[in-house]
Amino acid sequence: MAANDPGSTFDPPADAVVRRPDFLLGVATAAYQIEGAATEDGRLPSIWDTFSATPGKVLHGDTGAVACDHYLRWEEDVELLAGLHVDAYRLSIAWPRVVDAAGRPNEKGLAFYRKLLRRLKEKGIRTSVTLYHWDLPQHLEDAGGWRNRATAYRFAEYADLVSRELAGLVDFWSTLNEPWCSAMLGYGTGHHAPGQADLLAANQAMHHLLLGHGLALATLRRNDPASRKGIVVNVGRGTTDGTTPDDARAAELFELQHNDWVLDPLLRGQYPPRLHDELWPAARPPVQDGDLETIGTPLDFLGINYYFRTNVRADGNGGYVEVPLPGVERTQMGWEVHPDGLRDLLTGFHRRYDNLPPIYITENGMASDDRVVDGAVVDRQRIAFLERHLAAVDEAVKAGVDVRGYYVWSLLDNFEWAFGYERRFGIVHVDYATQRRTPKRSAELLREFLARRRSPS
């Protein structure tokens, strides 16, 4: 699917899945990364407000207090979306914005999302809403956060409230975004909020995240039956350039903890035994009777987020260690550009899980050091990146995988978590000093392609 000049055209083959009118092509964002207005209209503090305000936790001391000012500029951003002709828009609800500390609705926060979703519907844009994209209310973290089983029930109550208030305005509900990141980066390594580094805590958090997901699915089905319900998981391709059986096992263990840790309980009703027998014998999930049945509630769809491949070798202690490959293409994040990894994971899941639901690629994109030059941003690497990853999706579809849509991450440059504002993932450039939005060349090509698809000559 790659164009001859990735800076000037985007023209997938005539038989490419992305050309089908029923294949959703959209863009995605998340509340804390774009909304700002951290204290407006009754919004409570989240773990990311606390974490980013802690010296040394986020690059350059950046926070999401203002971000892209989307809370106040949402009408401009909806017009931007409509002008791109996207089929769908994925966003998240800020839990601290819509529920107070006693669990009661905050009408001003709910009104914001109600207005936003109605306007998107008026523009003919399909809506995909994630309930939890990492911004846990701080008062719940103070009570133990996702280590505490009670948080799973608070999440189900929050899902119940929001889905009653926004029923009929949402096409796709996702319970969680990337529980692996919430559990491992938040509680296992301390790289993300709330900043804990305890493998047992990570396993506790993962189990309660997945339990909250299963509990929330029941309320979503009851309150908004016409919508589709699922979850969004991040997946990683693990390979090795080592030559020993231990190196091959290391690559298996990488994917076991990165992918199977989440997908096996969702789709098989069990945690992968090897994970705890071989890799984490002292860190097991706190499973109670009935939990795995709740977690394994059937999904209408599975959201897949994919960004890069990781090369590993055996560490000599029964585990693995990352060994970056030399001479490969990388993004501003230092992540390897490896589209084949997406194809290989999708086809592998198709073989592994008999009950694999329809898949949407809910995030795929790259960061680059984009600058506005003479009023334009020509992001050639991103254009080639998107073309090649869409080609990988196309190969997976032709191999039998039921992939029904693809969302570019992200609509806007935004607060990139621990990396602050230095890393730019958007197809629209944001000048954070003025909040001026400038569509990059990737956005222009996406718009031109979608306009052609809607009005084929």
pLDDT tens string 344-391? 999 999 999 999 999 999 999 999 999 999 999 999 999 999 999 999
pLDDT tens string 295-314? 999 999 999 999 999 999 99
Residue 455: predicted pLDDT = 84
In this prediction, residues 261-288 reach a mean pLDDT of 96
Q: Interior CA angle at 220 toward 214 and 223, to 5°?
A: 150
* Whether residue 395 lies in the annotated active site: no
Residue 1: predicted pLDDT = 37
- In the predicted model, is pLDDT for residue 8 greater than 80? no
In this prediction, residues 218-230 reach a mean pLDDT of 98
Residue 136 CB burial class (10 angstroms; 0-12, 13-18, ≥19): buried
* Residue 374 · residue 417 · CB < 8 Å: no
> Coil, strand or helix: which one is 360?
strand
Distance CA 457, CA 453 (A): 9
Distance CA 286, CA 30 (A): 30
Please, what is the average pLDDT of the chain? 97
Q: Domain 17-454 belongs to what topology?
A: TIM Barrel (3.20.20)
DSSP string, 128-140: EEEEESS--BHHH
For residue 453, give both structure tokens.
């698809």
Q: What is the pTM of this model?
A: 0.97
Q: Which helix (H) or strand (E) holds 239?
A: strand 237-239
pLDDT tens string 234-245? 999 999 999 999
Q: How confident is the model at residue 5 (pLDDT cuts 50, 70, 90)?
A: low
Residue 3: predicted pLDDT = 42
Domain boundaries, the chain: 17-454
pLDDT tens string 128-160? 999 999 999 999 999 999 999 999 999 999 999
Choice among 363, 387, 395, 416 that is catalytic: 363
* Residue 273 · residue 260 · CB < 8 Å: no
Running DSSP on this structure, what letter comes out for residue 298? P
pLDDT tens string 28-81? 999 999 999 999 999 999 999 999 999 999 999 999 999 999 999 999 999 999
Phi-psi region of 274 (alpha: psi -120 to 50; beta: other; left: phi over 0): alpha
